[in-house]
Structure formats: structure tokens, C-alpha cells
Amino acid sequence: MKFSMIFEAQMVDTSKASEQQVLHDCVEQAVLGEKMGFDCIWAVEHHCLSQYAHMSAPETFLSFVAGKTSTIRIGHGVVCLPFKMNHPIKVAERVAMLDVLSNGRVNFGVGKGGTETEAGAFDVHIPDIDRQLETSARMIPQIWDSDVFSFENDIIRVPERRIHPKPMQEPHPPMFLACTRETTLNQAGEWGLGALCLGFGGPEDIAKKNEVYRAAVARRTAETQIPLEPNEHLSALCPAIVLDDGTEARAIGHRGQRFFTESINHFYQGGPAPSAPPEDEDAAEYLKNAGEALVAYLHEEKIEAGTEATGLYNPNHAYGTVADAIGYVERLIEAGADEIMFLIQMGGVPQKAALRTIELLGTEVIPRFR
């Protein structure tokens, strides 16, 4: 089993001082993660999503963390591959450079960056993204494997060039795909990529996703495979706040998840901007009621209630004591996860609580599964 944590750089207060503090807090959490025995840290790439995610330059964040650490793996979770957001040559160069300078510690995840807010900022048209993602993902391993590289189709042209550096890992850093629904799980398995399951659905949902992913892995062929060496690996998101006082941990975790949920709904579904929930509110009850209302609405509109939407309102995660966290992690492992990706850094979660969570996970939870 592998254990990691993922960073969004999410914040309630978007003032310059707060933004700067949150970014430094993320670094502090990542460095502590190495000391506590975590295997990897992941950083998302999002643009223009105020409050929800200020991690707009993960290549810089990950490089900075790599320079402060020596063993923990450094994961892009993920690089957005529309050409205008990240040209495949630049991605190949940046990822290889980080792999060399970190002594072969890079995990390379890819994804769409497909909200209109983000894609539109780069003049990327949503219908063009899927093909650009696959084209770029297929080009990058070939760039790393070629002395002289060239490529041309009807959407991109790269003339013959020598592209440097080459990554340290052989044949190249392991590749992953961001997965929220069945379509992307099938792509990940058939393409030979690890699946980063970034939803809040919980162990039952992970079990279903695992079944879809492993079936897709079995269908992989030499023609569908993207990396030079396939990567069969399912990572399950695990929201977590673990403290000595379980009641306090659950309250903090549920408030953080409420903020996370409202942020997603604002940018993905046009809802109101998120606000910090009051400390005396029962955020778990709010999540439960909001989720039931959403399911009722979707059923009324005859829309399938997929877990990528409804899972956000699931309040049952690794919030509580060490025993609570151990029990929840056991369920994710039984569901088929190869990696537990802890989500600790959410808007409104105090740094003190985040650091204590990392300490307890590292000293009391992770060792139980080694």
C-alpha cells in the first residue's frame, strides 16, 4: 500500500497575505509528510478558480518541495494537457527536468483542465480537449524515448528536434490519469495509466470504480497503451482530519468538506461563491440534506445521479480519531485501492489541525498497513 496527500491550495480568504500563507502552509505539510513516512505528495493544476484552488503552477510548487525533501515522491495530479495550457514539448521538458533534479521521484498525472473558467482563459474550446489530451499524452513518452522527435497530425505539428533533458526513471516516470467517471476509468485502464480517483464517493464507490478499471486493464493492447511501460495502479481519495478529539476532528473535516463542495458547485455548476460555514453549524447535517436535495432534483429531471456530483455530499470519511481513520482506510483497501490519497488541505482547516492529522496518520495509521 502507498499513502499520499494531495494539495489544492484551497482558501477561504483570498487576500495576498492569506494566499501566501496557505502556499507556505502546503509546503510545511508536504515536508512533514516525508518525515512521517508518506510515499508521495500530489499537486493539482487549476487556473482562475478563486478560493477553490490556487495551485496554478504545480511545477514550481513541486520543484520547491523536491528541494526540501529527499525521499518522498513528487506527483503531478495532474498536468492539464490542452496545447495552449501546456504544450507537450514543455511538459516533457519540465517533467524530465524535475525527475532528474529530484533523483527520479516524479509521478506524472495528466488530465483535461476542462472547466469553461479555466479552458476559456487560455482560449481553449471544450470540444477540442479530449483529442488534445490523448494526442499530447501519447507524444510525451515518445519524446522521452527519441533522440530526434517529430510529429504531425491535423491538430499539431512538431518538426524534427532534439528535446532535452531525458528523465532519470526508466523508461520514464509512471503515468496516471485523473478519473471521476466510468469513461475516464476505461481510458486509464486501456491506455495503461494509473487511475487517480478524485471523487468523494467512499469505499462502495471505489469498489465499483475498481471493477471498471481492472476490466479496462484486461482489455489493454499494444495499440491502446500510451506509456512505454504500463502502470496498473488505483489511487483512492480519502478526505481526512484526524485528531486526539474525534468530535473536533469531525467538525473541522465536515466544515472543510462543505467549503470544498460549495467551491466545486460554484465553478462547475454555477452555484453561489463559497463562504466559511459558522463553527456552530452542523456541517455534516448540511452535507446530508444538500445531497438528498440534489438526488431528488436529478431524479425529478430524469438525470442519472453520478457519484462525481452526489459523492461530494457524503460526510462519512476519515474524520475522527486514529481508530476511525484506520477503519475507513481498511474499507478503501478492501475496495481495491493501491494507494490512499489523503485530502487534508481544505478551505477553513486550521494549519494546526492539518499538521496534527499528518503526524497521527504517519505515526498511528500508516504503520498499521505496512
pLDDT per position as a tens digit, 35-60 = 999 999 999 999 999 999 999 999 99
The confidence band for 203, taking pLDDT boundaries of 50, 70 and 90, is very high
Residue 266 belongs to a domain: no
Residue 287 belongs to a domain: no
pLDDT of residue 300: 65
Mean pLDDT of the chain: 94
pLDDT of residue 351: 98
pLDDT of residue 279: 78
Per-residue pLDDT tens over the stretch 75-91: 999 999 999 999 999 99
Say which residues have a Cβ less than 8 Å from residue 352's Cβ, sequence separation at least 6: none
Residue 62 belongs to a domain: yes
322 touches 243 (CB < 8 A):
no
Residue 290 belongs to a domain: no
Q: Which domain holds residue 149?
A: 2-247+317-369
Stretch 201-207: mean pLDDT = 95
pLDDT of residue 337: 98
Per-residue pLDDT tens over the stretch 225-283: 999 999 999 999 999 999 999 999 999 999 999 999 888 888 877 788 888 777 777 88
Report which residue type is found at 187. Answer: Q
Residue 278 belongs to a domain: no
pLDDT of residue 298: 55
Per-residue pLDDT tens over the stretch 1-11: 999 999 999 99
Residue 346 belongs to a domain: yes
The confidence band for 210, taking pLDDT boundaries of 50, 70 and 90, is very high
Residue that wins the pLDDT comparison between 352 and 302:
352
3-state secondary structure the chain: CEEEEEECCCCCCCCHHHHHHHHHHHHHHHHHHHHCCCCEEEECCCCCECCCECCCCHHHHHHHHHHHCCCCEEEEEEEECCCCCCCHHHHHHHHHHHHHHCCCCEEEEEECCCCHHHHHHCCCCHHHHHHHHHHHHHHHHHHHHCCCEEEECCCCEEEEECCCCCCCCCCCCCEEEEECCHHHHHHHHHHCCEEEECCCCCHHHHHHHHHHHHHHHHHCCCCCCCCCCCCCCEEEEEEEEECCCHHHHHHHHHHHHHHHHHHHHHHHHCCCCCCCCCCCCCHHHHHHHHHHHHHHHHHHCCCCCCHHHHHHHCCCCEEECHHHHHHHHHHHHHCCCCEEEEECCCCCCCHHHHHHHHHHHHHHHHHHHC
Total number of domains in the chain? 1
Residue that wins the pLDDT comparison between 338 and 288:
338
Give the CATH number for residue 143.
Answer: 3.20.20.30
pLDDT of residue 145: 98
Residue 12 belongs to a domain: yes
Smallest Cα–Cα separation from 143: which of 95, 107, 82, 191? 95
Report which residue type is found at 341. Answer: M
CA distance 242 to 240: 6
Q: Cell numbers of 265, please? A: 458547485
Smallest Cα–Cα separation from 44: which of 97, 111, 95? 111
Residue 180 belongs to a domain: yes
Instruction: State what percent of residues in the chain have pLDDT above 70.
Output: 96
Count of CB atoms within 10 A of residue 365's CB?
Answer: 24
pLDDT at residue 184 greater than cutoff 70: yes
Least confident of 59-68, 105-114, 297-306, 312-321: 297-306
pLDDT at residue 171 greater than cutoff 60: yes
